[in-house]
Amino acid sequence: MYAIVEDSGTQIKLSTGDVLEVDIRDLDGDTFTLENVLMIAGKGEPTIGTPYVEGASVLVEVLEEFKDKKIDVIKFKRRKGYRRKTGHRQRLLKVRIGEISAKKKTTKKKTTKKTTKKTDDE
């Protein structure tokens, strides 16, 4: 079973047990849930959301917080003596995907009674 989830403006394909890197966020504990599930597929026909699958969520366990590789940002204007060098290190979370759950949507057929109105002509 796998799911496609939207997180921080990106779409990520997840399976149970996968270890991946996501953007850092404020956390209360060592687990959190991703609720922007775009699609769930596995055995049978996939469930596609409009835009999200209703009642679906993915449980995620945080393994560690770390910084990514350093990116050098260089500004330069030729013949002007202008040079600036700065760097950036993105803070990330290493996470393990836990349970992928989808609440099955049951459809109830509505029955309507047809009433016939008697007119004065009858």
pLDDT digits (tens, 9 = 90+) for 108-122: 555 666 667 667 765
- Residue at 29 is within a domain: yes
* Percent of the chain whose pLDDT exceeds 90: 70
- Residue at 109 is within a domain: no
pLDDT of 18 > 60? The answer is: yes
- Residue at 38 is within a domain: yes
Cβ atoms of residues 92 and 24 within 8 Å: yes
- Residue at 15 is within a domain: yes
Q: What pTM was estimated for this model as a whole? A: 0.71
- Residue at 115 is within a domain: no
What's the total number of domains in the chain?
A: 1
pLDDT of 87 > 70? The answer is: yes
